[in-house]
Amino acid sequence: MPDEPLLSGGPEEIKRKLRAIADEAKAKSERFTAVRRQVETSVIDEESPDGVVRVSVRASGALAGLHLSERARGLAPAQLAELVMATVARAQGKIAARVQQIARDNGVGEDPATTTMVARFTEEFPEPEPSGPPAGPGEMRLGGIEDEPAPKPSRPATPPDEDDGYWDKQSFLRGN
């Protein structure tokens, strides 16, 4: 049907073609409505690599849930905040793939409107760059290079030899 001209044939044939186009448009609209509903209710869960943080985000990117394990108490506030934000970013980075899968499941995965929609989600919520090893000391092994010893604590300053200002800060009544 896509290759044959719309207005070829008699009035009944044209009416049949128009009805088929309208039916196809209605079915596509229903599929996209189903996609929209599923995307709106979709929640993506993500956990930090160490299991300290678990988040849930909506397709809008909004945080829907946050769970911190007991081990979060041992982290500095800045570390915990960074871990939460990184976990949220990883969850948000999965939104476009989830939308694409929902569209495929509803039969509109290859539609140009889906491509545009997924591109917008990808632009708004890009997948975060994989994080490298944490900054700090490298891998530790037995027999490796040892850390330099800590400097010895310095002794308190000795009072200067007798001079004119020596007794200014001390009582002459106490025996030294």
- Per cent of the chain over pLDDT 70 is 72
| Cβ count within 10 A of residue 98 | 18
Decide if 56 contacts 37 (C-beta within 8 A). Answer: no
When pLDDT is cut at 50, 70 and 90, the band that residue 2 belongs to is: low
Banded model confidence at residue 8, pLDDT cuts 50, 70, 90: confident
Q: pLDDT tens digit string along 67-110? A: 999 999 999 999 999 999 999 999 999 999 999 999 999 988 88
Compute the average pLDDT of residues 42-56. Answer: 96
Alpha helix positions (H), the chain: 11-41, 77-92, 95-105, 112-124
d(CA 87, CA 93): 10
- In this prediction the pTM is 0.64
Question: CATH for 11-124?
Answer: 3.30.1310.10
Q: Please state, in angstroms and rounded to a whole number, the distance separating the CA atoms of residues 5 and 27.
A: 22
Helix axes 11-41, 95-105, angle to 10 degrees: 140
Taking alpha carbons only, the member of 29, 28, 30, 102 closest to residue 59 is 102
Most confident of 116-120, 143-147, 159-163: 116-120
List pLDDT tens digits, range 124-142: 999 888 765 444 444 545 5
Domains of the chain, residue spans: 11-124
With cut-offs at 50, 70 and 90, classify the pLDDT of residue 11: confident
Confidence of residue 33 (pLDDT cuts 50, 70, 90): very high
